[in-house]
Amino acid sequence: MDRLTKDDVHPKILQKLLEDSDITIEDALENEMILNMGPQHPATHGVLRLLLRLDGETVIGCVPDVGYLHRGYEKMAENMSYYEYIPHTDRLDYISPLSNNVAWVLAVEKLAGIEVPVRAQYIRMIVAELARIASHLVAIGSFAMDVGALTVFLWTLREREKIMDIWDILCGARFTNSYTRIGGVANDAQPEALALVKRFIDEIDANLSECESLLNTNRIFIERLDGVGIISKEDALSYGYTGPNLRASGVEFDLRRATPYLQYDKIDFRIPVFTEGDCLARYFVRADEVRESAKIVKQCLQLMSPGEIKANLPKSVLPQKAEVYSKMEELIHDFMIVNFGINPPVGEVYHAIEGSKGELGFYLVSKGEGHPWKCKIRSPSFIHIQSLPHLVKGHMVSDVVAIIGSIDPIMGEADK
């Protein structure tokens, strides 16, 4: 886009501009503007503040300002026991709350050396994959809404309501359900819940295709996103990308394959990879991942067999409530665990899972007490927002909105 010089301007406009005493001619046509896309904005996903330096409508620089949702998670973890922290992990990546629960509980179990029974592992996998589907549905819906396709948002939220109904019956809460426990899950999966899961999984492919039929061949959607926000493979790795954003740039890296946890090594699924690295590729990766997650859930439902859902370690695992109220030893164990916490050995551990946004990791340092000495949350959204200045340089202001939507940051996770 060529800059206007004062010879190109009509002399009458020039005269009008010069009459205003605050503007000199250099200022009027050749200045750059600083635009504040403030914390309260419909298109930034949450409270993200972006300061953009614009030359006309082209972005030449960008500074993200985070911290508007900094709640002090890491400091609070040092003051509460491992069990008390489970509801807090729900609120980190609040679109897929169960995957954060699973990540925390796996990290604590790795530190304490607790083995979880197989049925509980399959149940955890099912809820984690449902959380991934829910997160990608919201990501696709709000991304399409930012670009202009308002209907898709309501359709994907309708699908998400079905997942919330499943969680309502299975976990007891529709949203921010703290369902996993150290050593297993809170209660067994009822047959009605599993039937609902099966019905949802059978229908998701057709419903997602219905949403995609509005977008995939839509000329406006493709022209707005093709070639926008490209990041190369080396840059993506250098900026610490993980998850769907990295797979859209050509790197086939999935923590469920690289460092398998739970029972992922027994499940057969494909990793969708695209090489272009632009917004459209990131959208396609997410849409494909929904279908792969549906496949994983279907296989888990087949491989699941009846069994225990909590490990048999009375000193570390909370007993069932029915037994607490009727038997003596369970009452004592419940009292000790709730008040003093489980005491893992001295050491430190880092465990990461493939969350819906990328690699969600917990780094725990324990000094043998009931609460961690240090807890660090490695959140993928924080890392991805860091690369925004690199992605938006040279694009227009309306592309900034599309790029933020395709990166899919969640500020609860980024600000901790």
Partner 1 sequence: MGLEAKLNSDGFLTTQLDAVVAWARKNSVYPMPMGISCCAIEMMASADPKYDIARFGSEVMRFTPRQCDLMIVAGTVTYKMSHVVRKIYDQMPDPKWVIAMGACTSTGGMYRSYSVVQGIDQFLPVDVYVAGCPPRPDNLLNALIQIQNKIGRTRARDFQNLKLPELNVIQNN
Partner 2 sequence: MELKELISQKLQANFPEAEFEFSEFRNELSIKINKKFVNPICKFLKEDPELEFLLCEDVTAIDWAKRENRFTVVYHIFSLKLNFRLVLKADVDESDCAIDTVSSVWKTSNWQERETYDMYGIKFKNHPDLRRIYMPEEFEYHPLRKDFPLLGIPGSLPLPKK
Q: Tell me the window of 36-44, 175-183, 190-198, 355-363 that interacts with partner 2 (CB under 8 A).
A: 355-363
The contact set with partner 1 (CB under 8 A) reads 38-42, 46-47, 67-72, 75-76, 87-88, 91, 94-95, 138, 154, 157-158, 160-161, 164, 174-176, 411-412
Query: Is the CA virtual torsion 233, 239, 242, 244 positive or negative?
Result: negative
Residue 40 interacting with partner 2 (CB under 8 A): no
Shortest distance (Å) from residue 157 CB to partner 1: 4
Q: DSSP letters of 173-240? A: -SSS---EETTEESSPPPHHHHHHHHHHHHHHHHHHHHHHHHHTT-HHHHHHHTTSS---HHHHHHTT
Q: Tell me the window of 131-139, 160-168, 215-223, 370-378 that interacts with partner 2 (CB under 8 A).
A: 370-378
176 versus 299: smaller Cβ distance to partner 1: 176
203 versus 348: smaller Cβ distance to partner 2: 348
Residue 50 interacting with partner 2 (CB under 8 A): no
Report which secondary-structure segment, H or E, holds 34. Answer: strand 33-37
55 versus 65: smaller Cβ distance to partner 2: 65
Shortest distance (Å) from residue 88 CB to partner 1: 7
The size of the interface with partner 2 (CB under 8 A), counted in residues, is 40
224 binds, among partner 2, partner 1, none (CB under 5 to 8 A by kind): none
14 binds, among partner 1, partner 2, none (CB under 5 to 8 A by kind): none
Report which secondary-structure segment, H or E, holds 268. Answer: none
Q: What does the alpha-carbon distance between residue 367 and residue 346 come to, in Å, rounded to a whole number?
A: 5
CA distances (Å), origin 2, targets 5, 30, 178, 390: 9, 12, 56, 22
Strand-pairing partners, residue 361, are 352, 378
Alpha helices in 61-177 (DSSP H): 73-77, 86-90, 97-112, 118-147, 150-171
Residue 415 interacting with partner 2 (CB under 8 A): yes
Shortest distance (Å) from residue 36 CB to partner 1: 8
CA distances (Å), origin 328, targets 311, 335, 413: 19, 11, 41
337 versus 349: smaller Cβ distance to partner 2: 349
Shortest distance (Å) from residue 367 CB to partner 2: 9
Q: What does the alpha-carbon distance between residue 295 and residue 280 come to, in Å, rounded to a whole number?
A: 23
Residue 133 interacting with partner 2 (CB under 8 A): no
104 to 123: interface string for partner 2, x by CB under 8 A? ------xx-x----------
Query: Is the CA virtual torsion 275, 276, 281, 282 positive or negative?
Result: positive
Q: What does the alpha-carbon distance between residue 262 and residue 116 come to, in Å, rounded to a whole number?
A: 9
Strand-pairing partners, residue 37, are 50
Residues in contact with partner 2 by the rule CB under 8 A: 66-67, 70, 72, 74-76, 79, 110-111, 113, 235, 237-240, 242, 251, 253, 258-259, 347-350, 352, 359, 361, 363, 365, 373-374, 376, 378, 382-383, 386-387, 415-416
